[in-house]
């Protein structure tokens, strides 16, 4: 409860009300079905928790004023690094905060901490930025306006606007360049793209969906991480964990009753990491008026671990076709760019 204190201005009080109404915190203990055989929590499980927190806070904010009711739909997840592993028995603390709003979108920052309940020690495992758009409950194709937020500094709004424009441009570029599909190959050679590529087919049921009858973004991300993990495990044949996820772009909604195909293929390997491209295609099998379409896409990075949890070298990928060689070079460019950023010497964009 917020109390009006002596000398507390209405502006300051409004900010405190905003934080109380639009902040989101949650806790969840990690169980065996959340983790792999080595006891490390699946990256997809964490991504699903992150998305649920983002969906709650953005939907709450978009319905904070009188007007047409809506639900926030996930449009994009920025690059997410898995800073530290989370294990069975630890408690995940998820907190979310709205950091920027445009006319039709909401930017949410989500942090995840893991807590060892025996010692009380906590560590930061994930920081993620997500973008949502409000869809009308009356018409799911109608995007509503977002109530503005109050910024403590003008620079915050300017910085947020730059992030908004950058992600909007990249999301459109990604949609157009991701038109290809993953084709199976008979008797592939080890360490090739075809050897480890994998697909998962999933029928979208009611438990996967929002009130609108569309798939939760977190459900899609969890399935994407599962396929990427299979690709990585097939390639190196060791225990693997998610190291990072490049921006996940949600190009279109997926309806209840659709069949989705989640396909993964390795695009690049460094000495100790693997980049896997994951594509999500939706097939409206009961609606002949609609064609199969690309619903989402992303790049996942995995590392190989020994039984003791130490990082291991990974077998080097052998690209065979011209397209595979091109994707390998593009992946190498992304890897070198992120490596330079981590070292504080990022190269300028061409």
Partners of 134 in beta bridges: 72
Alpha-carbon Rg for the chain, nearest whole angstrom, is: 21
Which long-range contacts link 6-10 to residues 24+ away (Cβ below 8 Å)?
none
Give CA–CA dist 309/270, Å, rounded. 19
Q: How far apart are CA 268 and CA 235, in angstroms?
A: 12
287 is catalytic: no
E-strand ranges in 102-216 read 106-115, 122-136, 198-203
Which is catalytic among the residues 225, 239, 246, 249? 225
Residue with tokens 């507390």: 8
225 is catalytic: yes
d(CA 274, CA 267) in angstroms, rounded, equals: 8
Q: Which two tokens stand for residue 329?
A: 């070079």
To the nearest 5 percent, what fractions of the chain are helix, strand and coil? 30, 35, 35
Catalytic site residue from 36, 111, 191, 283: 36
Are the C-beta atoms of residues 82 and 243 closer than 8 Å to each other? yes
The Cβ of residue 271 has, within 10 Å, a number of other Cβ atoms equal to 9
Give catalytic residues, as residue numbers.
36, 225
């Amino acid at each position: 409860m917020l109390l009006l204190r002596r000398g507390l201005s209405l502006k300051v009080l409004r900010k405190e009300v905003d934080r109380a109404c639009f902040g989101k915190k949650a806790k969840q203990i990690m169980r065996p079905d959340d983790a792999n055989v080595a006891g490390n929590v699946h990256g997809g499980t964490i991504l699903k928790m992150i998305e649920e927190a983002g969906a709650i806070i953005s939907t709450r904010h978009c319905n904070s004023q009188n007007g047409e009711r809506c639900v926030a739909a996930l449009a994009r997840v920025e690059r997410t690094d898995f800073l530290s592993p989370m294990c069975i028995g630890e408690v995940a603390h998820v907190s979310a905060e709205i950091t920027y709003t445009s006319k039709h979108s909401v930017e949410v920052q989500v942090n995840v901490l893991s807590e060892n309940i025996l010692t009380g020690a906590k560590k930061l495992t994930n920081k993620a930025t997500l973008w949502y758009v409000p869809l009308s409950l009356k018409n799911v194709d109608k995007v509503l306006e977002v109530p503005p937020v109050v910024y403590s500094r003008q620079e915050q709004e300017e910085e947020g606007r730059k992030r908004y424009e950058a992600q909007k441009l990249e999301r459109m570029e990604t949609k157009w360049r991701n038109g290809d599909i993953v084709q199976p190959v008979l008797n592939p050679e080890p360490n090739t793209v075809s050897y480890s590529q994998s697909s998962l087919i999933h029928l979208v049921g009611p438990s996967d969906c929002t009130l609108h009858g569309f798939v939760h973004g977190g459900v899609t991300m969890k399935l994407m991480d599962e396929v990427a993990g299979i690709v990585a495990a097939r390639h190196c044949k060791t225990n693997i964990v998610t190291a990072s996820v490049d921006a996940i772009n949600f190009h279109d909604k997926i309806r209840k009753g659709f069949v989705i195909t989640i396909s993964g293929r390795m695009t690049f390997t460094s000495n100790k990491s693997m980049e896997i491209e994951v594509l999500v295609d939706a097939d409206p099998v009961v609606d002949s008026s609609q064609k199969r379409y690309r619903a989402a896409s992303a790049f996942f990075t995995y590392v190989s671990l020994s039984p003791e949890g130490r990082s291991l070298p990974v077998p080097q990928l052998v690209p065979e076709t011209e397209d595979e060689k091109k994707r390998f070079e593009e992946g190498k460019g992304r890897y070198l760019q992120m490596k330079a950023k981590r070292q504080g010497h990022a190269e300028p964009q061409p």
